[in-house]
Structure 1
Amino acid sequence: MRSFKGLTRGLVSVAALCVAGWAVPIAAQVEPSPQIRATDAEGALMALRQAGYKAEAQPREGDNDTALIEITTRDGAIFVQFSDCDEAVPEYCETLVLSTSWNRNTPMTDDVVAESNRRFKYVSIWKDEEGDPIMQWAILTGDAGIAQLLFLNAVQRYLDVVRDFDTIAFDDDGSDDADGSKRGVQETAAAAAPAAAEI
């Protein structure tokens, strides 16, 4: 019969080394993902830049304004708005809103808006007073925040939806522009919009 005495001694030796501190610390094995919060515009801006996005901050300009980050891509710009902010402490916000608008020559029809909302289920699309489409995706972060990777994935997914919508935005508009270069410039004040979907 084979003897396992030597093997047992070997296992005991390995265990002793682990107890002595040779094992890799748990914290070093699994590093928690940084959290993104609507209360921390600088953190969101840094995460976007580290991911390779061309992002610029637009600070609040008045009591009714919110902070804004503009992300410029080869197809045009999208914006990150900081929403649901405390009136007493405007920098304390709970929601990040990915937002885009398009400047059409003619108002978009209600049928196109309704069909677009059915097709792009994660965003909310509506028209402003001039009939130009606006798209938003709200991300509730609260105090706890969301993982940086989840935030960056949401931005990329939103960009994919925006690119898909670019051609729809100018369909039957008498415009040759269907590549996003006529996306509108966002106002810093939060738009009065229907509730957008949340992740």
Structure 2
Amino acid sequence: MKYFRLILTTILLLNGPLACWSQNIGGGLSIGGIASQIDGDQWAGYNKVGYHIGGYAFYDLSDKVALQIEILHTNRGSREVNKAYGQIHLNYIDVPLLLRFGLLETDNARILGEIGPSINMLLSAKNGFKPLTADRTDLYHRFSGEFHFGSTLLFTENLGLFARWSVSFTNLLRSYPPWFTIHYFTIGGRINFK
């Protein structure tokens, strides 16, 4: 919770002054749900439900292209559902750097595409179901990398929905084998401040 407060405070403090400096700079808040899976854990399916919450800032390079950086707190992992054997909970601070580009624009809405990498810092890793969970943070790399593909539908200049598919390109585990990579789908809402 302290990380969430720190992220939110930083975004709110920086957003006001940045918006005053340039008409090309904006930002906002992002909240969404995640369905994730870890390849290599022997459990099939996007059965782990998590969340993503944070903020973003963007710089318009032109009417159609922008650079966007985000700071997000995410919860993802995997879950075995057939035997209720276990669950892997991974909490991260993610920092994606995305190229945002216009795909379609009408009088009422805009559709934007997003693509780019991120660096992620692991906050905690736990295995098992509550109350029988064990801290496994030492088994995982502290930093990992991912690639994101997504789109945003803006209903107004300030409100929109987004969908994003993400895949890691680094091994999550310190030991090899197995090779653990995660991929997940995120869907949620955005509020722009510009």
TM bracket (short chain): under 0.3
Specify which structure has the higher proportion of helix.
1
TM-score between the two structures when normalised by the length of structure 1: 0.25
* Higher Cα Rg, which structure: 1
Higher fraction of strand: 2
Higher RCO (C-alpha 8 Å, min separation 6): 1
Instruction: Tell me the TM-score normalized by structure 2.
Output: 0.26
